[in-house]
Chains A and B, each alone.
Chain A
Amino acid sequence: MATLHLLSHSPFSDERFASCLRLLGERDGLLLSGDAVHALQPGTAPRDALERLPASVALLVLEDDLNARGLSDRQPARARVIDYPGFVDACLQYAKVNSWL
Protein backbone atom coordinates (compact mmCIF):
# COMPACT_ATOMS: atom_id res chain seq x y z
CA MET A 1 0.00 0.00 0.00
CA ALA A 2 1.74 3.08 -1.23
CA THR A 3 2.26 6.01 1.11
CA LEU A 4 2.47 9.73 0.43
CA HIS A 5 5.00 11.27 2.81
CA LEU A 6 4.52 14.91 3.77
CA LEU A 7 7.65 16.77 4.84
CA SER A 8 7.72 20.36 6.02
CA HIS A 9 10.99 20.68 7.98
CA SER A 10 14.37 21.72 6.60
CA PRO A 11 16.64 18.73 5.93
CA PHE A 12 19.61 20.81 7.15
CA SER A 13 18.44 21.16 10.74
CA ASP A 14 16.24 18.15 11.24
CA GLU A 15 16.34 14.39 10.94
CA ARG A 16 12.91 13.87 9.40
CA PHE A 17 14.15 14.13 5.82
CA ALA A 18 16.87 11.48 6.23
CA SER A 19 14.58 9.11 8.12
CA CYS A 20 11.81 9.56 5.61
CA LEU A 21 14.14 8.52 2.78
CA ARG A 22 15.01 5.41 4.78
CA LEU A 23 11.33 4.45 5.01
CA LEU A 24 10.39 5.50 1.50
CA GLY A 25 9.08 2.65 -0.62
CA GLU A 26 9.47 2.37 -4.37
CA ARG A 27 5.86 3.22 -5.03
CA ASP A 28 5.63 5.93 -2.39
CA GLY A 29 5.41 9.65 -3.02
CA LEU A 30 7.22 12.52 -1.34
CA LEU A 31 5.61 15.92 -1.01
CA LEU A 32 7.80 18.84 0.06
CA SER A 33 6.20 21.87 1.64
CA GLY A 34 7.39 24.64 3.95
CA ASP A 35 11.08 24.48 4.80
CA ALA A 36 11.35 20.96 3.38
CA VAL A 37 11.54 22.72 0.01
CA HIS A 38 15.11 23.73 0.94
CA ALA A 39 15.99 20.09 0.17
CA LEU A 40 15.94 21.18 -3.49
CA GLN A 41 18.85 23.60 -2.99
CA PRO A 42 21.27 22.73 -5.84
CA GLY A 43 24.67 21.34 -4.89
CA THR A 44 23.58 19.92 -1.57
CA ALA A 45 23.39 16.39 -0.19
CA PRO A 46 19.59 16.44 0.21
CA ARG A 47 19.19 17.52 -3.42
CA ASP A 48 21.51 14.73 -4.55
CA ALA A 49 19.56 12.22 -2.47
CA LEU A 50 16.32 13.32 -4.11
CA GLU A 51 17.85 13.02 -7.59
CA ARG A 52 18.93 9.48 -6.78
CA LEU A 53 15.48 8.25 -5.72
CA PRO A 54 14.02 5.50 -7.92
CA ALA A 55 12.09 6.94 -10.85
CA SER A 56 8.97 5.22 -9.51
CA VAL A 57 8.91 7.59 -6.51
CA ALA A 58 6.84 10.69 -7.21
CA LEU A 59 8.39 13.95 -6.01
CA LEU A 60 5.89 16.76 -5.46
CA VAL A 61 6.61 20.33 -4.39
CA LEU A 62 4.18 22.94 -3.19
CA GLU A 63 4.42 25.88 -5.57
CA ASP A 64 3.91 28.76 -3.11
CA ASP A 65 6.61 27.46 -0.77
CA LEU A 66 8.99 26.82 -3.68
CA ASN A 67 8.57 30.35 -5.01
CA ALA A 68 8.86 31.94 -1.57
CA ARG A 69 12.28 30.33 -1.10
CA GLY A 70 13.70 31.50 -4.40
CA LEU A 71 13.88 28.00 -5.83
CA SER A 72 11.39 28.21 -8.67
CA ASP A 73 12.98 27.10 -11.98
CA ARG A 74 15.76 25.41 -10.01
CA GLN A 75 13.84 22.29 -9.10
CA PRO A 76 14.91 18.97 -10.62
CA ALA A 77 13.13 17.83 -13.77
CA ARG A 78 11.50 14.95 -11.93
CA ALA A 79 9.75 17.27 -9.45
CA ARG A 80 6.09 18.05 -10.07
CA VAL A 81 5.06 21.50 -8.86
CA ILE A 82 1.57 21.53 -7.39
CA ASP A 83 -0.87 24.02 -5.89
CA TYR A 84 -3.16 23.42 -2.91
CA PRO A 85 -5.88 21.60 -4.86
CA GLY A 86 -3.07 19.46 -6.29
CA PHE A 87 -1.95 18.78 -2.69
CA VAL A 88 -5.40 17.44 -1.86
CA ASP A 89 -5.53 15.35 -5.03
CA ALA A 90 -2.14 13.84 -4.23
CA CYS A 91 -3.28 12.86 -0.73
CA LEU A 92 -6.24 11.04 -2.22
CA GLN A 93 -4.14 9.15 -4.75
CA TYR A 94 -2.24 7.17 -2.14
CA ALA A 95 -3.55 4.45 0.16
CA LYS A 96 -2.30 6.40 3.15
CA VAL A 97 -0.59 9.65 4.08
CA ASN A 98 2.32 9.87 6.50
CA SER A 99 2.70 13.36 7.85
CA TRP A 100 6.14 13.93 9.40
CA LEU A 101 4.78 16.39 11.94
Chain B
Amino acid sequence: MNDRPLDPQALALDGDGYLLRLDDWTPAVAEALARNEGLDLQPEHWEILEALRAFYREFQLSPATRPLVRYIAQALGPDKGNSAHLNRLFKGTPAKLAAKLAGLPKPTNCL
Protein backbone atom coordinates (compact mmCIF):
# COMPACT_ATOMS: atom_id res chain seq x y z
CA MET B 1 0.00 0.00 0.00
CA ASN B 2 1.18 3.54 -0.63
CA ASP B 3 -0.32 6.93 0.14
CA ARG B 4 -0.94 7.90 -3.43
CA PRO B 5 -4.57 8.89 -3.94
CA LEU B 6 -6.62 6.14 -5.57
CA ASP B 7 -7.70 6.82 -9.10
CA PRO B 8 -11.48 6.47 -9.32
CA GLN B 9 -11.00 5.43 -12.95
CA ALA B 10 -9.32 2.25 -11.73
CA LEU B 11 -12.43 1.13 -9.80
CA ALA B 12 -15.14 -1.06 -11.27
CA LEU B 13 -18.25 1.11 -11.02
CA ASP B 14 -21.76 0.85 -12.38
CA GLY B 15 -23.30 3.52 -14.60
CA ASP B 16 -24.26 5.62 -11.57
CA GLY B 17 -20.82 5.45 -9.97
CA TYR B 18 -21.56 2.73 -7.39
CA LEU B 19 -19.00 0.00 -6.72
CA LEU B 20 -19.81 -3.14 -8.67
CA ARG B 21 -18.11 -5.37 -6.09
CA LEU B 22 -18.74 -4.62 -2.44
CA ASP B 23 -15.47 -6.31 -1.52
CA ASP B 24 -13.51 -3.64 -3.44
CA TRP B 25 -14.32 -1.11 -0.73
CA THR B 26 -11.56 0.33 1.46
CA PRO B 27 -11.36 3.69 3.23
CA ALA B 28 -9.06 4.82 0.38
CA VAL B 29 -11.79 3.88 -2.11
CA ALA B 30 -14.29 5.94 -0.12
CA GLU B 31 -11.92 8.91 -0.21
CA ALA B 32 -11.43 8.57 -3.96
CA LEU B 33 -15.18 8.36 -4.57
CA ALA B 34 -15.73 11.35 -2.27
CA ARG B 35 -13.17 13.43 -4.15
CA ASN B 36 -15.07 12.56 -7.30
CA GLU B 37 -18.10 14.16 -5.67
CA GLY B 38 -16.12 17.16 -4.45
CA LEU B 39 -16.38 16.00 -0.85
CA ASP B 40 -13.63 15.92 1.79
CA LEU B 41 -14.46 13.16 4.27
CA GLN B 42 -14.39 14.21 7.92
CA PRO B 43 -14.96 12.12 11.08
CA GLU B 44 -18.64 13.06 10.97
CA HIS B 45 -18.86 11.49 7.50
CA TRP B 46 -16.95 8.39 8.49
CA GLU B 47 -19.24 7.53 11.37
CA ILE B 48 -22.19 7.56 8.98
CA LEU B 49 -20.36 5.45 6.40
CA GLU B 50 -19.43 2.93 9.07
CA ALA B 51 -23.01 2.77 10.33
CA LEU B 52 -24.22 2.26 6.76
CA ARG B 53 -21.82 -0.63 6.24
CA ALA B 54 -23.13 -2.18 9.47
CA PHE B 55 -26.68 -1.67 8.17
CA TYR B 56 -25.79 -3.52 5.01
CA ARG B 57 -24.11 -6.39 6.86
CA GLU B 58 -27.27 -6.87 8.90
CA PHE B 59 -30.00 -6.30 6.32
CA GLN B 60 -28.25 -6.92 2.97
CA LEU B 61 -29.78 -3.86 1.35
CA SER B 62 -29.21 -0.12 1.08
CA PRO B 63 -31.66 2.01 3.05
CA ALA B 64 -33.85 4.72 1.54
CA THR B 65 -33.71 8.12 3.24
CA ARG B 66 -36.31 7.52 5.92
CA PRO B 67 -34.91 4.21 7.18
CA LEU B 68 -31.40 5.67 6.98
CA VAL B 69 -32.38 8.54 9.24
CA ARG B 70 -34.12 6.16 11.63
CA TYR B 71 -31.16 3.79 11.74
CA ILE B 72 -28.58 6.53 12.30
CA ALA B 73 -30.74 7.94 15.08
CA GLN B 74 -30.76 4.52 16.75
CA ALA B 75 -27.04 3.96 16.22
CA LEU B 76 -25.58 7.43 16.81
CA GLY B 77 -28.35 9.41 18.48
CA PRO B 78 -30.95 11.88 17.23
CA ASP B 79 -28.48 14.75 16.75
CA LYS B 80 -26.87 12.63 14.01
CA GLY B 81 -29.95 10.77 12.85
CA ASN B 82 -31.92 13.64 11.36
CA SER B 83 -32.35 14.74 7.78
CA ALA B 84 -30.83 18.19 8.29
CA HIS B 85 -27.53 16.78 9.54
CA LEU B 86 -27.40 14.04 6.88
CA ASN B 87 -28.39 16.39 4.07
CA ARG B 88 -25.65 18.78 5.11
CA LEU B 89 -23.02 16.04 5.13
CA PHE B 90 -24.05 14.41 1.87
CA LYS B 91 -25.07 17.24 -0.40
CA GLY B 92 -28.81 16.84 0.06
CA THR B 93 -29.03 13.21 -1.08
CA PRO B 94 -27.78 11.23 1.92
CA ALA B 95 -29.30 7.84 1.02
CA LYS B 96 -27.77 7.82 -2.44
CA LEU B 97 -24.46 9.54 -1.82
CA ALA B 98 -23.62 7.94 1.51
CA ALA B 99 -24.45 4.49 0.07
CA LYS B 100 -22.14 5.22 -2.84
CA LEU B 101 -19.26 6.28 -0.60
CA ALA B 102 -19.83 3.34 1.75
CA GLY B 103 -19.51 0.97 -1.20
CA LEU B 104 -23.12 -0.22 -1.10
CA PRO B 105 -25.47 -0.75 -4.06
CA LYS B 106 -27.70 2.13 -5.07
CA PRO B 107 -30.82 2.21 -2.84
CA THR B 108 -33.74 0.84 -4.86
CA ASN B 109 -36.63 2.33 -2.92
CA CYS B 110 -35.54 5.92 -3.25
CA LEU B 111 -36.49 8.83 -5.50
Are chains A and B touching directly in their complex (CB below 8 angstroms)? no
